[in-house]
Structures are given as structure tokens and as C-alpha cells.
Amino acid sequence: MQTKKITAVLSLFTALGIGTQVQAQESAEELARQWDAVEQGGDIPLNANSPTNNTWRQMREDLGKGREPGPINVQRWAGNYPWVGMPTMFHLPVALTPEDLAAGQVEIAFMGAELVGDPRARTWGPAEMRNPHRSEVYHTWGEMAMPELDTGRTALSEMVAVDYGDAPIDPFGMERSIPEIRKMVREIASTELANGKRTIPFIIGGGHALMYPDVAGVADVYGKGNVAVIHFDAHADYSTADFGRLVTHGNPVRRLLMEDLVKPEHIIQVGLRGPTSTDLETLDWAREQGIRYHMMAEVEKDGWQKVMDRVIKEARNSAENIFISFDIDVVDPAFIPGTSTPEPGGLYMRETLPLIRRLCAETNVVGFELVELRPDSDPGYTTMLNAKAITRQCLNGLAVRKAGITKANYLNPVMTDDGQ
């Protein structure tokens, strides 16, 4: 009903030209002066008189009306091939309210989050992650789902997971979107489960500015300084070149540190490389802060296995709660070309998947984000297929942990030995 009211009002405004009349209540001189603040480098004013000022975050009031709380399975079939069924994340049931999460004892809640306003613009990342034509291709779902041929687990048959929809996004700027995203992440992470744990937010998104509201939302629940961030990225993301913005895709790490949301020694970076990641002076700053990093130069020097073991060890010895921030440009663009800032010389998929699986199996992961998806710059399905595989391996690791398997780098014995 609320949505119908908004649509009707907007249609009426357009038809009668009332939007113009509302804005005209201010004098021409007053309207002209709004640009003075912009020109002088001050605040960017909003048109508070606009009838559409807040429609982008107007939530329906009937989300739980006429039904019992709990996940809603929108699929007609118990299971099928990916080209059958309604395109939710992994063909999962949907949840619309915190009451749905609690009633369903939901362990994992996927949410989409775009950011419009920095060089990324809209990316279609969350929408394409739900598109099985590009992200699944041939993987079955539901009761037809099959186990991973490494651990032998079938994560989404062993855990309760839902698609929680998308965060509200201001279509013309990201500053107002960021608090809304933080609120939605906090809403998910606040859900208490009977086993003493909380629901884990899985955020699929656009620009890496998302790291700030995503980590902040989790820290709001677990406490400042109680969350470590394992940051996969080609770029360090603690730039000072913010052009006057509070947060950009290039500085979320610095912003988290500035607000004391995360301790510097609880930042562990993997995969940094290239000429636009950081400079030596800023790297000195990072070392002084105590930030841990593992560049591709370290991989070149010591080999991937040693570096992976170091990352796992550091993650175990950091904060009790782990948030994985995975910028897909950490992967070599041969495997994931659909990203905004591709940088050659990155991780291979055979390096990436075992590390993600191990982190999610061997540490207490309380949040996961996969960002910088830009599938519209990849005419094929390689980007989405591999992005989905990375997400799936975290789910795989979480299923191993839920099963009580504590062996490091666990692989199902029948997957590694044919018994002959």
C-alpha cells in the first residue's frame, strides 16, 4: 500500500508539474545560493523540498503482514537445474524482516549492496550474482545439490541460509547510502541464534567503499576492536586521496582505523601489487601502524604455500571474530576480468579457493563481503562463475566448521585417495 501511495504521488506530481511548483516555493535567489556552498568547497546541499528526497529508502509497511515470521521459499520445486526457478542467491529462500531471520534460525543471510556516486557507478554485481545464467551455469540446487569434491560437504543443505534482498541505495550519491547499509548489516549480525552464535551477513556488492559500512555494521554488534579484517585486494585501500569525501573505494581501511573500529594489528592484507596500490611513504605509515600485509612480491619470493600458512596463522592469532573482505581484483584478470580496477599478476583461482575455504573453516568468520563486481565489463560468464565459486568456498568452509571438523586444511579422504 505504501509503495502504491508513493507511485501515485510521484505520477501526480509529474502530471501536474507539482514537483516544479514545490521547488519554486524558494526564491530564485535562494536556489542560486545553494551552489555557493559547492563552489566554496563546503557541504553539498540537498533539495529537502523534493518529493522524491527519501523515496529510495521508503520501506514497505506490510513485509510481515498476514503470515508467520520465517524464511519464504519462493521456489516451486524442491530442487532442479540452475535454469529452473526464481533467481535468488543460490536459489535460496528469501527473508524480509529481522523476525524472519530469528524465526528461521538463519545462519547466513545474503544481501546485495550497490554504491552509486564514486567512479564505480552501478555495477549490477548483486543482480548478476542472482543470475544463474552467468554465475551458476550448471550447478544444481535444493534437494538436487551435490557436495563439493574437496571436503565432501553440501553447505546449503547443511546450513540455513537466505537471500535478504538489497540495501537501500541513493541513486545519485553514496554518502546517504552508507549509513543505511551499515544499519542493514547490523540488523543481520544482531540476530541471535539458539546455539549462541549470530547470523553471518554475506554482502555482495559494488565498490570497495562498502568495506566501511560492512565492517562497521559487524563491529557495532561485536564491539570496536573485536573484529579482525582479512583484506584480499590488489590495492591497499588506505589512500589519503579522498577528494574531500568521508569514504571512497580507495580509503575504507584508513577510515576504519580513524574511527577505532578495527585495530591496525587486526588488518591482514593479501595480494597487494601494481603501481596504483600504495607508495613507499604510505607503506612506512602502514608498517608504523602495525598493519599486516602479504604482497604478491612475497609470494614471488617465498611461494604461495608459505604465504597462505602465514595468513592462516595470523588470522588465528588476531581478534576472535573475523570479517573477510574480498575485492575480486585480487584475482588475476585472466580469471576475473569484470572488475573496475583489474591488475595483472594476481592470485590464481587454485590459490584463492583453498585459502578462502580454510579461513572460513579454521577461524570464527562473522562476516563476508565480495566486492568490486562489475559484470557489465565482462561479456562472458567467467567473472560471475569465479566470483560465485569464491563465495561457495566460504560456505564450504563454514559447513566444515559446523560439522565440528577441526583438522587444519581438511580434505575428505575419499577425495584425495582412490583407495587403489
Do 182 and 218 form a contact (C-beta atoms < 8 A)?
no
| Residues making up the chain, counted from first to last | 420
Cell digits of residue 396: 564450504
Q: Element (H or E) spanning 203, and its range? A: strand 200-205
- What pLDDT is recorded for position 18? 44
- What pLDDT is recorded for position 179? 93
Burial degree of 313 (CB within 10 A; 0-12, 13-18, 19+): exposed
Q: Element (H or E) spanning 326, and its range? A: strand 321-327
Cell digits of residue 212: 566501511
Q: Where are the domains of the chain?
A: 2-53, 79-402
Question: Rounded CA gap, 79 and 140, in Å?
Answer: 7
Query: Which residues, including other chains, have CB under 8 Å from residue 245's CB and lie 6 or more apart?
Result: 118, 175
Residue 62's alpha-carbon distances to 3, 7, 37, in angstroms, are 10, 16, 40
CATH class of the region 79-402: alpha beta
- Mean pLDDT in runs of 10 for the chain (420 residues)? 53 48 64 77 78 91 94 97 94 97 98 80 82 84 95 98 95 88 97 97 92 96 98 89 76 91 97 88 91 96 96 96 97 95 95 98 98 89 94 98 97 95
Coil, strand or helix at 350:
helix
pTM: predicted TM-score of the whole model, two decimal places: 0.91
Question: Rounded CA gap, 190 and 186, in Å?
Answer: 6
- What pLDDT is recorded for position 119? 66
- What pLDDT is recorded for position 16? 42
Q: Element (H or E) spanning 372, and its range? A: none
Coil, strand or helix at 167:
coil
Calculate ∠ Cα 119-324-273, nearest 5°. 55
Beta pairing, strands 321-327 & 227-232: parallel
- What pLDDT is recorded for position 120? 62
Measured in whole angstroms, how far is the alpha carbon of residue 249 from the centre of its chain? 13
